């Protein structure tokens, strides 16, 4: 709100004219004197002061409405994001799904059962996402970021998860058959009851992985795995895993 200051009454024209020593300046002084009177009149017009208060009040009302409707705007944004995800089901490419999924997850919206089969989601960032029973089969998720996400009972069959960050991810009961996990970071991941038949774990980091109750490792490639827990390699080979150098070794 503007501070309303009442101006002092200007001097009479006769007094102002006496103060003007040069005749050629008189028109300019007269012009200035006229505006001084207008400013004086307006500064003493209470109606303008009321308008100032109304302006401030209208801003306050607008702020109140903005925050009161914030929930509706968030719902609308979520609805639009889900539309992007759902209308792209079964289609290749991204179709805006990377941004939509990240936006939903940033607002902590559960992504349970989301279907992105065959989608191109390279580099997607879904840390701590709730992806239970999600369908990522045949999706290209190279370099994805999923720290502490929950993929329990999800379908990731034939997905490309090369170099993805899968630290502390729960894959309990997940289908990881024929999944490319080359160079992935599986530190602390829970593979309880997960099926990894035909999966490629070449150069994957298995530090602290929960492996004792893996459901299936038949023909999974564990060549060059890093930081494997004690006893894992022997157990894996005993249960049908292979160690084959396929030429896909990741640097470092």
Digit-coded pLDDT (tens) for 144-165: 999 999 999 999 999 999 999 9
124 or 43, which is more confident: 124
- Cβ–Cβ < 8 Å for 98, 121: yes
Cα radius of gyration rounded to whole Å, the chain? 35
- Number of helical (H) and strand (E) elements in the chain, helices listed first: 6, 0
Average pLDDT over residues 5-29: 72
* 118, pLDDT greater than 90: yes
Model pLDDT for residues 168-225, shown as the tens digit of each residue: 999 999 999 999 999 999 999 999 999 999 999 999 999 999 999 999 999 999 999 9
d(CA 238, CA 249): 23
90-99 pLDDT, tens digit per residue, is: 677 777 999 9
pLDDT of residue 33: 74
Is residue 132's pLDDT more than 50?
A: yes
What residues contact 9, with CB distance under 8 A and at least 6 apart?
40
d(CA 136, CA 157): 7
Q: What percent of the chain has pLDDT over 90?
A: 61
In the predicted structure, residue 124 carries a pLDDT above the cut 80: yes
CATH superfamily, with its number, for domain 77-247: E3 ubiquitin-protein ligase SopA (2.160.20.80)
Name which of 116, 107, 101, 179 is nearest 146 in CA terms.
101
pLDDT at 94: 77
* Long-range contacts of the stretch 41-45 (C-beta < 8 A, 24+): 43/4, 43/5, 43/6, 43/7, 44/6, 44/7
pLDDT of residue 9: 76
- Looking at residue 27, its pLDDT comes to 78
**What are the boundaries of each domain within the chain?**
13-68, 77-247
Give the model's confidence band at 252: pLDDT under 50 very low, under 70 low, under 90 confident, else very high. Answer: very low
Cβ contact 196:171 at 8 Å? no
- For 20-50, give one letter per residue: b (16+ CB within 10 A) or e: eeeeeeeeeeeeebeebeeeeeeeeeeeeee
pLDDT of residue 41: 73
Mean pLDDT for the stretch of residues 69-95: 80
pLDDT for 8 beyond 80 = no
- In the predicted structure, residue 251 carries a pLDDT above the cut 50: no
Averaged pLDDT of the chain: 86
Q: With 90 as the cut, is the pLDDT of residue 19 above it?
A: no
Residue pLDDT, tens place only, 20-75: 767 777 777 777 877 777 776 766 666 656 666 667 667 767 666 555 655 667 88
Residue 207, φ and ψ in degrees, nearest 5: -60, 125
């Amino acid at each position: 709100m503007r501070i309303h200051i009442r101006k002092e009454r200007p001097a009479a024209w006769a007094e102002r004219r006496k103060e003007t020593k040069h005749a050629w300046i008189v028109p300019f002084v007269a012009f200035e004197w006229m505006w001084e009177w207008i400013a004086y009149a307006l500064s003493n017009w209470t109606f303008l002061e009321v308008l100032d208060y109304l302006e401030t009040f209208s801003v306050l009302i607008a702020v109140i409405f903005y925050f009161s409707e914030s929930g509706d705007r968030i719902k609308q944004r979520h609805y639009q994001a889900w539309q992007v995800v759902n209308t792209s089901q079964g289609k290749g490419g991204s179709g805006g799904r990377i941004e939509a999924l990240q936006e939903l997850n940033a607002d902590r919206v559960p992504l349970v059962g989301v279907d992105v089969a065959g989608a191109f989601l390279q580099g997607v960032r879904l840390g701590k996402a709730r992806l239970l029973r999600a369908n990522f089969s045949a999706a290209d998720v190279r370099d994805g970021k999923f720290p502490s996400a929950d993929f329990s009972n999800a379908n990731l069959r034939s997905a490309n998860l090369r170099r993805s960050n899968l630290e502390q991810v729960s894959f309990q009961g997940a289908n990881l058959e024929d999944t490319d996990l080359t160079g992935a970071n599986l530190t602390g991941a829970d593979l309880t009851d997960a099926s990894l038949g035909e999966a490629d774990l070449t150069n994957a980091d298995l530090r602290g992985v929960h492996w004792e109750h893996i459901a299936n490792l038949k023909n999974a490639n564990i060549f060059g795995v890093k930081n494997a827990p004690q006893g894992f390699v022997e157990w894996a080979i005993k249960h049908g895993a292979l160690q084959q150098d396929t030429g896909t070794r990741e640097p470092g």
